[in-house]
Amino acid sequence: MTVGALASSGRHRGVTLQSPAFFVSPTGNDANAGTISSPFLTTGHAQTAMRNSSTTKTTYLRGGTYTLAAIWNFTASDNGTSWLGYPGETPVISGSSQTYYINVSGVTGITFMGLTFDSLFGDINGFSGAPGFGVISTSNMTFRWNTLRNVNPGVLMFLSSVSNSIFDSNIFHDQAPGNFNGTANAYAAFFVTNNAGPGSSGNTFSHNEFYNIAAGGIAFTVSTGGGNTANSNNTVDRNYFHQCCTNVVDMGSIYFIDRLTTGTGNKITNNKIFNTGNGDAGKGVKGIYLDETASNTTVTGNVLYGGIGAVQIFHSHLAATVNNVVQYNIFAITTPTVNSNPVNYFTAEVPAYQDGGSGNNFSHNILYFYTACHNPIWSNFGVSATVPPTVTNNLYYSANGSTIFNNSPFIDSAPVGISSVVNPQFTNVSTGDFSMPANGPAFTQLGWTSQVATDQGPVPRSGLIGRTNYVQNPRAEGSTNGTIGSGGAMPTYWGWSAGSSGLVCAVTGTGTENGIPYLEVNITRVAGTATSIGVIYLELFNSTPTGTTCAGLIAQNAVVSCSAYFKLQAGDFTNVTALRFDLEERSASSYVGDIGGGTPLTNPTGAALDTQLQKSENVTVSGVGTTQLVYYVSITPTATTAINFTLRIGAPDLEVASTVYGNPILPPVGSPTGQNQGTSI
């Protein structure tokens, strides 16, 4: 145990804390030991202590204000460290509106959780947007349950060349000014760019809230230039934007620009966007804005309402914009109160399209007009489209009974609500409740299969201090391609046992898809062989696990939940009668029993891996004689029949929790060990 670290069980006044850990308090002293009862005074001293320690990589900040006296830099010396707000308290990192900011550069696996960052201001790498919190050339960062506020002028957070990181359940508010004259940088509260170098990829931006933002909400940009690569495989999901773009020109609550036209796999899903803009259509702002050759982006499940600015899609004047898909969204559209610039900006309440491309699709959406429908519905801003977007099977409705126009430039080929009134039957538009009856037109005429999400914005911390993934090696490192038993090998701590089933498992690869690390296996059987159960083991611990974290997991009556991502990469599940999750308890020398009865899996499809999270929740461990848990997937084949399918298994996760919280918890690359379980919060 490092001197100054939290001792023994990691409990203090009934709260479970990560251990070992240092503590900092505004009433502490840097001559202290850094314990909870004798904390340090400054974050700088705690940072030095963590850098000098081989075991203690967590610091808790007690409530109060910590005023920066210089730029706070994080480097590779801070890899794997965690900065956590003490539960139930509000630690504030203040820049006092001086030129002090936070700069994370070249770091792997750093965590910030439960902190408030106030009045930061700086100029990172010469970027004139003056970000308060900058993250550059960093990977596997976790940024959760934080608040960033009061940056003026500049942006709240700035990312460049960031990969495989999670920004979840944060609050971003009070950013100013915007780009009100349209002559400076197109500011946003959260700015992801790469003016020089690799793009940012594989990141998740989920459950965040943005409000009182003069500029855009979150913006992804990439410029042409030597060595630049696009931003790819980023997911913007279940965020809540309100009162954004109130003093900015040519921007969006969610904004993408890709002048390289090479970005792929970006997703804008299940967000709620309320009151974009300030009522002036001449400012050219949109709820969702795909600008200048942004391509290969999926926009689905979003709700945009109030204010102005529905969606501008496929905007380009440098090259063809291709393969954007906008489906199953709700656009509740208002009429702007003023248009200060009708020549250069279109009426901003309508969908807009500019300058061509191919493969773009706008379908199965609901366009709800509070008052009159614009004529035409679409604004084709700029030159004629090279290949018009596919516009089909959208529902159009005017709340005041105004005429719906289906005119050029883009005519819906199969509209709903044009020839006769079709009310989408939202529960309560005025309160933002866009749920609909199961027999409503969205489901019967547009092909919707589920309601829009309602869980946007931060997920409550709910007393959680630190989430820990107890699966050893969730990144599936250490495998060897080939047939198991004939040169192939499962990843470290994983296993395969086919019994007498005749099933054969071959490792066919590992990789990362949309930020999710996976193992790919091919499961086969020749017809005519015997049958039993083949099992893919996702081992959690060695036979005799040690440490308080493991003991907490297997304690009597502990409640656990597990999850993993699955994708059918090839073949099919013909002659497979069941796939399921199982948890097995073992003693040091024998089998104790299965728990939870197993959870059937929905047969995976060929859809993107990150869209196929499967869960087994609220399982109680007996804990009687248990020293090890084995978390596995069982495959039940029919007798003697041929089987051939290739399955990707990504980011297995098991936590002491009654529910699965979503975003995967992953350790740094190259650390498949039970003593380095990926910790997130």
* Per-residue model confidence as pLDDT tens digits over 337-350: 555 544 333 343 44
pLDDT, tens digit, 9 for 90 and up, residues 16-50? 577 789 999 999 999 999 999 999 999 999 999 99
Domain contains 399? yes
At residue 349, the pLDDT reads 44
pLDDT at 299 over 50: yes
**Residue 521 sits in the same domain as residue 546:** yes
Tell me which of 417, 432, 465 is where a domain ends: 465
**Residue 167 sits in the same domain as residue 112:** no
**Residue 567 sits in the same domain as residue 435:** no
CATH number of the CATH domain containing 536: 2.60.120.260
Strands (E) across 17-119 are located at 22-24, 58-61, 64-67, 72-74, 82-85, 91-94, 102-105, 111-113, 116-118
At residue 617, the pLDDT reads 67
Domain contains 628? yes
Which residues are paired to 218 by β-bridges? Answer: 190, 254
Q: Which helix (H) or strand (E) holds 580?
A: strand 576-586
Q: Which residues contact residue 195 at a Cβ distance below 8 angstroms, ignoring those fewer than 6 apart?
A: 127, 160, 223, 225, 228
What three-state secondary structure class fits 430? helix
Choice among 71-75, 78-82, 237-241, 673-677 with the minimum mean pLDDT: 673-677
CA atoms within 13 A on the CB side of 337: 6
At residue 4, the pLDDT reads 32
Q: Per-residue confidence at 390, pLDDT binned at 50, 70, 90?
A: confident
- Rounded CA separation 404/8 (Å): 69
**Residue 584 sits in the same domain as residue 442:** no
Residues of the domain holding 166: 152-465
**Residue 259 sits in the same domain as residue 273:** yes
At residue 224, the pLDDT reads 72
**Residue 429 sits in the same domain as residue 518:** no
Domain contains 138? no
How far, CA to CA in Å, does 302 sit from each of 74, 374, 662?
36, 21, 19
pLDDT at 544 over 80: no
Max mean pLDDT range (211-220, 271-280, 544-553) = 211-220
First and final C-alpha spacing in the chain: 23
pLDDT, averaged across the chain = 78
**Residue 343 sits in the same domain as residue 406:** yes
Domain contains 143? no
Report how many domains make up the chain: 3
Domain contains 156? yes
Q: Per-residue confidence at 302, pLDDT binned at 50, 70, 90?
A: very high
**Residue 415 sits in the same domain as residue 426:** yes
Domain contains 17? yes
Q: Per-residue confidence at 469, pLDDT binned at 50, 70, 90?
A: confident
Six token digits for residue 212: 């009182």
At residue 269, the pLDDT reads 92
At residue 369, the pLDDT reads 85
**Residue 543 sits in the same domain as residue 528:** yes
pLDDT at 408 over 80: no
- Which amino acid makes up residue 635? I
Q: Which residues contact residue 98 at a Cβ distance below 8 angstroms, ignoring those fewer than 6 apart?
A: 68, 121
pLDDT, tens digit, 9 for 90 and up, residues 90-146? 999 998 867 788 999 999 989 999 999 998 875 544 444 557 888 999 998 989 999
**Residue 481 sits in the same domain as residue 397:** no
What three-state secondary structure class fits 44? helix
Tell me which of 414, 446, 465 is where a domain ends: 465
**Average pLDDT of the residues in 419-435:** 92
Domain contains 664? yes
**Residue 484 sits in the same domain as residue 633:** yes
Separation of CA 162 from chain center: 13
pLDDT at 178 over 90: no
pLDDT, tens digit, 9 for 90 and up, residues 208-250? 999 998 888 998 888 776 678 888 989 999 999 998 888 888 7
Domain contains 142? no
pLDDT at 316 over 50: no
**Residue 103 sits in the same domain as residue 206:** no
